[in-house]
Amino acid sequence: MRKYILLFLFINCFTIGYCQVVKGIVRDEKTKTPIPFASVYYNGTFTGTISDVKGYFELNRSEHVSMPLVISAIGYYSFVLKDFSSSRTIEIQLKPKEYEFKETVIKSKSLKALRQKNMRLFKKEFLGFSHNALYCKILNEKDITFNYFADKVVLKAFASKPILIENNALGYKVTYYLDRFEYYRKNGEILLSGNIVFKENKATEEHQKEYAEKRKATYTGSRMHFFRSISLNDSVIEGFTISTTDNKLSLKDIVVLDHKDNRYLNYPKGFYITSSAGTSYVTLLKDYVFFDKNGYFDGSGLNWSGYMGDQRVADWLPYEYTVGENNLK
């Protein structure tokens, strides 16, 4: 028997309008003036557009109807729009970023050495620890700054512009809009939030084959792989086992559906996820965490550790990815 969520819990469901083109205007929250050249996109995909000089944009959402829309611009915090209709022009107001500090003027050798040390730590925690990370390059390191001596306990990083990454392992150009990076030196905890857009690298047939192999290896056992697996049917989880310390869990133990068959993770405690790639542990931060068949999930509702927790920007794949000859839908 499938479980159903009560109607009053549907407030975070996404409204699907009859029209598949989203129209909107991006404005400054304080001045209400239009923001030109803002990026409007679906996080973790190839799909996006840019607002015009009047802040106006249009974007087809037919392939991403279950996903929220993200709006980002230089000097502003990203805005995630979850509940909206395609039948009317929407107005988005972006909040200007207020940096806690200004970049220290780096002249002495000691400060240069400290910046290099901070950058190495940032890249390790941001890009990750996998083989893929070794083949990633941040193209605009100069746009990233740190809090230096302001806090010896927490390393904070800010990016004045989107972080541009060349992922030569998986064959993607990546644009990452960083909203928060905090690394706690004592326990190694990291708080990372932001949004990402992908672009396919142009490559020879030989390189495309190499990318295909590495993408498949990266996908296997990933969070995307897991959520796609638990979207396939009502009983079988392909490629994964889920359990607590004491018991093995079934799909009906962790997944509930609403009246539209939208799926949500729902489990009061954390649980283990095991695959051929490794073991992970996930804890729910919300009662209900939305996910869809493409592998998209509400990242703000989950805390990861273990194998999946170690997957960072270098290991992320676009939601258009499929395991196959061309790798893309």
pLDDT at 151: 61
Contact (CB, 8 A) for 254 and 265 = yes
Cα 89 from chain centre: 26
CATH superfamily of 7-94: Carboxypeptidase-like, regulatory domain (2.60.40.1120)
pLDDT at 241: 93
Tell me what the mean pLDDT of segment 320-329 comes to.
68
**Domain locations along the chain:** 7-94, 109-200, 223-310
For 170-192, the pLDDT digits (tens) are 999 999 999 999 999 888 889 99
Tell me what the mean pLDDT of segment 116-140 comes to.
95
In which residue are the tokens 């799926």 written? 263
Contact (CB, 8 A) for 294 and 302 = no
Tell me what the mean pLDDT of segment 87-92 comes to.
88
pLDDT at 149: 62
Contact (CB, 8 A) for 70 and 78 = yes
Tokens found for residue 165: 């990454």
CB atoms < 10 A from the CB of 10, how many?
13
Tokens found for residue 47: 């799909």
Contact (CB, 8 A) for 258 and 5 = yes
Tell me what the mean pLDDT of segment 191-198 comes to.
93
Residue 103 has pLDDT above 60, yes or no: no
pLDDT at 329: 44
pLDDT band at 62 (very low <50, low <70, confident <90, very high): confident
d(CA 164, CA 326): 24
Tell me what the mean pLDDT of segment 145-151 comes to.
73
d(CA 80, CA 59): 15
